[in-house]
């Protein structure tokens, strides 16, 4: 099997699994219990918090563990609206956010709790900060824009957008689920107030994430219950998951430079091959400001779903869009926002490289994609 769908999820690293295992059996204590078994779990969570905070240049008291990127996004948005309720309820976001952001905002609008302005993107999926500036209002309380897009891999100008937010007393949140662990992310340099991350995108386990919330931001609990996470996130902690996520953060930091170099080389090699060998095949997203492991192409005249089936028959795991949109025949909202035609969009193929992939695998995948396109009539 060749796994090239790391944007959907990543295999758990051996070292991560090793770090997690004791917390299922020997160290199974509840972190809230006072005896030593409980304290061992609590200490393990605090270690993971230091590892996670170090990866994004945050203080340990600014990191709150959650059940994943989706919960972090929901919490950040609802939390920001509550914190700024005296100022207003206008939110600015982009048209290419993950559904964890877009559907949360849909629901809040339905509930009459916010008004949303969606900023457009250009053909490469890039947001122009000037477009954000134009739609800022007196009652704008939150700007939520992703750091890197999950489909086409484009990296957004968050620093510039965050500066605009702060000039206007607006909370800045970024969904950095695809970026954390893959490119350098520093919350101070970016100037964000809140940032979402998820374990399973960086060789950690599924079902665990964190929300960074800047110190002194009066973010209140999203789930009601016990006093865990300093009263900010109720519920007995997912200790093995948090330990694994912490370990994944540390390993990602240690290996980042090496991973970026290797993945970028493979990415550019695959993009060059696919766009030159397959008639009509074009790259989607920004050619340089993109995630190191993201190859996204549109092959007009083929059906993305058919391509995936053919690749699967050859043992290759790939995606037609994000994990959430693949499997549905809905055209991608990201590609539509970038101005792609329905034909281009239906021939979308996303190959996301991970650290365990090799150049030989990259070549095999390019050969198989080209052969499948040929078999489908190109």
Helix residue ranges per DSSP H, 57-197: 69-83, 99-110, 129-135, 158-167, 187-190
Structure tokens at 15: 């070292």
Q: How many CA atoms lie within 13 A of 201 on its CB side?
A: 28
Interface mask toward ligand PLP for 185-204; x: CB under 6 A: -------------x------
**Residue 268: in which H helix or E strand, if any?**
helix 239-277
> Which position's Cβ is nearest ligand PLP?
69
Task: Give yes or no for a contact between 92 and 136, defined as CB atoms under 8 angstroms apart.
Answer: yes
- Nearest Cα neighbor of 293 from 156, 159, 157, 155 is 155
Query: Using the rule CB under 6 A, which residue among 100, 145, 170, 180 binds ligand PLP?
Result: 100
Query: Using the rule CB under 6 A, which residue among 69, 191, 205, 246 binds ligand PLP?
Result: 69
Nearer to ligand PLP, 92 or 372 (CB): 92
The span from the CA of 234 to the CA of 45, in Å, is 15
C-beta neighbour count of 163 within 10 angstroms: 15
Structure tokens at 361: 């695998």
Question: In whole angstroms, how close is the CB of 310 to ligand PLP at the nearest point?
Answer: 24
Nearer to ligand PLP, 201 or 267 (CB): 201
Question: In whole angstroms, how close is the CB of 122 to ligand PLP at the nearest point?
Answer: 19
Q: Is 249 a catalytic residue?
A: no
Q: Does 146 interact with ligand PLP (rule: CB under 6 A)?
A: yes
Q: Does 70 interact with ligand PLP (rule: CB under 6 A)?
A: yes
Structure tokens at 103: 């559907």
Q: Does 323 interact with ligand PLP (rule: CB under 6 A)?
A: yes
Task: Give yes or no for a contact between 197 and 177, defined as CB atoms under 8 angstroms apart.
Answer: yes
C-beta neighbour count of 27 within 10 angstroms: 17
Scanning 69-77, 83-91, 122-130, 337-345 for contacts with ligand PLP by CB under 6 A, the matching segment is 69-77
Number of residues that bind ligand PLP (CB under 6 A): 15
Q: Does 177 interact with ligand PLP (rule: CB under 6 A)?
A: yes
Scanning 64-72, 130-138, 211-219, 289-297 for contacts with ligand PLP by CB under 6 A, the matching segment is 64-72
Nearer to ligand PLP, 291 or 370 (CB): 291
Structure tokens at 253: 């930091």
Catalytic residue (choose from 89, 114, 324, 366) = 324
Q: b/e for 201-226, b at 16 or more Cβ within 10 A?
A: bbbbbbebbbbbbbeeeebebbeeee
Query: Using the rule CB under 6 A, which residue among 29, 204, 209, 241 binds ligand PLP?
Result: 209
Interface mask toward ligand PLP for 249-288; x: CB under 6 A: ----------------------------------------
Residues lying near ligand PLP in the complex (CB under 6 A) = 68-70, 73, 98, 100, 146, 150, 175, 177-178, 198, 209, 322-323
Catalytic site residues? 324
């Amino acid at each position: 099997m060749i796994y090239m769908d790391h944007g959907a999820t990543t295999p758990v690293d051996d070292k991560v699994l090793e770090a997690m295992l004791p917390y299922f059996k020997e160290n199974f204590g509840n972190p809230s219990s006072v005896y030593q078994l409980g304290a061992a779990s609590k200490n393990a969570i605090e270690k993971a918090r230091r590892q996670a905070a170090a990866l994004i240049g945050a203080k340990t008291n600014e990191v709150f563990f959650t059940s994943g990127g989706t919960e972090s996004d929901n919490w950040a948005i609802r939390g920001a609206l509550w914190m700024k309720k005296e100022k207003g309820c206008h939110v600015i976001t982009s048209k290419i956010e993950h559904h964890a952001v877009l559907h949360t905002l849909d629901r809040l609008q339905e509930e009459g709790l916010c008004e949303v302005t969606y900023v457009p993107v250009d053909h490469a999926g890039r947001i122009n900060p000037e477009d954000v500036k134009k739609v800022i209002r007196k009652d704008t309380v939150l700007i939520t824009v992703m750091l890197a897009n999950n489909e086409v891999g484009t990296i957004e100008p968050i620093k510039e957008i965050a500066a605009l937010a702060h000039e206007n007393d607006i909370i800045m949140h970024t969904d950095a689920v695809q970026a954390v662990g893959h490119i350098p992310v520093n919350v101070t340099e970016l100037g964000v107030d809140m940032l979402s991350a998820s374990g399973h995108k960086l060789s950690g386990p599924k079902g665990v994430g964190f929300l960074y919330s800047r110190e002194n931001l009066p973010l209140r609990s999203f789930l009601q219950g016990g006093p865990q996470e300093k009263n900010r996130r109720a519920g007995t902690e997912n200790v093995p998951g948090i330990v694994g996520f912490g370990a994944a953060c540390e390993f990602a930091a240690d290996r980042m430079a090496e991973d970026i170099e290797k993945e970028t080389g493979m990415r550019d090699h695959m993009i060059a091959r696919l766009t030159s060998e397959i008639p009509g095949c074009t790259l989607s997203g920004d050619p340089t400001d993109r995630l190191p492991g993201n190859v996204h192409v549109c092959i007009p005249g083929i059906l993305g779903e058919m391509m995936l089936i053919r690749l699967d028959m050859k043992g290759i795991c790939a995606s037609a869009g994000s994990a959430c949109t693949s499997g549905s025949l809905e055209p991608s909202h990201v590609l539509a926002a970038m101005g792609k035609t329905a034909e281009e969009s239906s021939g979308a193929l996303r190959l996301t490289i991970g650290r365990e992939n090799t150049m030989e695998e990259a070549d095999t995948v390019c050969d198989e994609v080209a052969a499948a396109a040929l078999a489908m009539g190109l």
